[in-house]
Amino acid sequence: MGTYYVPRNYKGESRILYIFTAKSLITTGVGALIGSIFFFIFGMVLGYTTAGLIIMAIFGLLGWAYGALKIPTVAGIAVTKKVGGESLDEIINRYIKFKAKRHIYAYTDTKEVDENTKEEN
């Protein structure tokens, strides 16, 4: 009797606590780390601990959204037809690279005109 390979669906097994992939967990941590700076400023310096926690949670949520969300394809919106199904971080990174390497090119006509005959050579 032979053995046969039975394929398994591995999608979702790399998730931590169901909503976190490795990338989204890292970006959530980075967002919370940035928010902890505001927590320190509001909590320790100004005495508004609750406001600091709320700001830290907002930055953590923004970090999670950056790492986990994908743009849906909506037929009625032209922009989502082009980027539908791609991760938000890929779109933002591509935009930043585009803006950083954008050049303005000026094209000049290199054809010479003979002044006596007014013809192009």
Domain boundaries, the chain: 11-69, 70-107
pLDDT at 33: 92
pLDDT at 118: 58
Q: What is the pLDDT of residue 16?
A: 67
Structure-derived torsion over alpha carbons of residues 46, 48, 52, 53, reported in degrees to the nearest 10: 150
| Predicted pLDDT at 52 | 85
Q: Tell whether the model's pLDDT for residue 115 goes beyond 70.
A: no
pLDDT at res. 58? 92
End-to-end CA distance of the chain: 82
Give the Cα separation of 2 and 24 in Å (integer).
42
The pTM of the whole model exceeds 0.75:
no
Q: Looking at the predicted structure, is the pLDDT value of residue 105 above 80? A: no
CA distances from 56 to 22, 28, 62, 68 (A): 20, 10, 10, 18
User: CB neighbours of 30 closer than 8 A, spacing ≥ 6?
Assistant: 63
Query: Does 95 have pLDDT greater than 80?
Result: yes
Of the CA atoms within 13 Å of residue 115, those in its CB half-sphere come to 0
Residue 114 confidence (pLDDT) = 57
pLDDT per position as a tens digit, 11-70: 655 666 677 788 888 888 999 999 998 888 888 777 788 888 888 999 999 998 888 888
With contact defined as beta carbons under 8 Å apart, do 88 and 69 qualify?
yes
